Amino acid sequence: MSGNEMLNTNKSEISQKIKRFAHDLGFEKVGIARAESLDPAPLEKWLRRNYHCKMAYMQNNIEKRLDPRNLVEGAKSVISVAKNYYTPQKHSTDFAVGRISRYAWGDDYHDVLRPRLKEMLTHIQKLVPSCNGRVFVDTAPIMDKQWAVRAGIGWQGKNSNVITREFGSWIFLGEIVVDIELDYDTTIKDYCGTCTRCIDACPTGAIVEPYVVDANRCISYLTIELKPEHEIPADLKTKMGNLVFGCDICQDVCPWNSKFAQETDEAAFQPRPHNLNPPLERLSKLDTKEFQIKFRKSPIKRAKFKGFLRNVQAAWENYKRNKM
């Protein structure tokens, strides 16, 4: 029997071993999809509408973004994993404090997921020594949400986040693309139904239609991705309230999140005390050194010191204006 025939015979067993190992590493969900080209129409339409705003990189490497076989030569399978990051602490209703997205309360998820995915790939290569693969955690042009959906992790909600039946959308995603055939999972149905709570709750109207987000208006984009040298548009700044890094509004109102959220077992995602409801006045007095110390190995560093201070200043102005 040839090596390929042996692999085909054992692919179900190998797929199950991969999934068991992923669970052993702490990933709550894992699924596998066939590596093939994605439908280019949704991405092309989104780019034509300029919904990527100043994220020019979204226009680059389109052929890689749409087909993982251009990322890994001979790719046959995309293994998607999901890690629950929910913690039960609540945002304060006091607008004198800064509001930070729940995903950024603890350590940077890239640093948590990437080593485990590399360990997974090493394990796969022990099972199949000829296997070649590559690990992804926001490190290359790969459509992680689309692959999570194809792998049966969950469905893409109307706010564009992947929603699972077990954990809602409080999940981080990662992928391993490999050049071996495996057993493939099937997609699950969209359980959003007629609900439009995320669309209705967005203060800036960023969810322009179900499943489509305009980054130009998205508070997460404005407070994280918008580079420090750019100002937040005045008409949107006043609608940001006390949000200083990211925005969970569309997730907080989602029934799947309010009903099915489970506390993570990952200590790294537990909130750092200074990230829970920090006083805006104190944040406004941060200097570069303190910023680097407080947010070392934190997602908040992505905004850079000047970008974060810009966000804090906007929130502080909103607070003082509403207090008058």
Which tens digits make up the pLDDT trace of 117-131? 999 999 999 999 999
The tally of CA atoms less than 13 A away on the side-chain side of residue 80 is 28
H or E stretch covering 79: strand 77-84
Residue 128 — left, alpha, or beta (φ > 0 → left; ψ -120 to 50 → alpha)? beta
Within this chain, do residues 171 and 228 fall inside the same structural domain, yes or no? Answer: no
Q: Are residues 133 and 72 in contact, defined by beta-carbon separation less than 8 angstroms?
A: yes
Within this chain, do residues 228 and 154 fall inside the same structural domain, yes or no? Answer: no
In a domain, 96, yes or no: no
Domain final residue, candidates 119, 147, 178: 178
In a domain, 191, yes or no: no
Domain final residue, candidates 123, 144, 178: 178
Within this chain, do residues 30 and 159 fall inside the same structural domain, yes or no? Answer: yes
Structural domain boundaries enclosing 107: 3-91+103-178
Within this chain, do residues 65 and 146 fall inside the same structural domain, yes or no? Answer: yes
Please give the sequence-ordered ranges of beta strands (E in DSSP) within 150-263, or none if there are none.
155-156, 162-163, 171-178, 207-209, 212-213, 243-245
Within this chain, do residues 173 and 32 fall inside the same structural domain, yes or no? Answer: yes
In a domain, 251, yes or no: yes
If one counts the domains in the chain, the total is 2
Within this chain, do residues 82 and 8 fall inside the same structural domain, yes or no? Answer: yes
Q: Are residues 162 and 80 in contact, defined by beta-carbon separation less than 8 angstroms?
A: no
In a domain, 317, yes or no: yes
- Alpha-carbon distance of 126 to 136, in angstroms, equals 20
Single pTM value for the model: 0.94
In a domain, 16, yes or no: yes
Within this chain, do residues 236 and 116 fall inside the same structural domain, yes or no? Answer: no
Q: Are residues 22 and 31 in contact, defined by beta-carbon separation less than 8 angstroms?
A: no
Give the list of residues 6+ apart from residue 57 with CB closer than 8 angstroms, or none: 141
In a domain, 183, yes or no: no
- CB-based burial label for 200 (10 Å; 0-12, 13-18, 19+): exposed
In a domain, 295, yes or no: yes
Predicted confidence at residue 323, as pLDDT, reads 78
Give the Å distances, CA to CA, from 108 to 23, 32, 145, 271: 20, 25, 19, 11
Within this chain, do residues 170 and 27 fall inside the same structural domain, yes or no? Answer: yes
Within this chain, do residues 218 and 292 fall inside the same structural domain, yes or no? Answer: yes
Residues catalogued as catalytic? 138
Within this chain, do residues 122 and 28 fall inside the same structural domain, yes or no? Answer: yes
| Residues with pLDDT less than 70, the chain | 1-9, 324
Within this chain, do residues 143 and 236 fall inside the same structural domain, yes or no? Answer: no
In a domain, 189, yes or no: no
Within this chain, do residues 292 and 157 fall inside the same structural domain, yes or no? Answer: no
- What is the dihedral sign for C-alpha 48, 51, 57, 61? negative
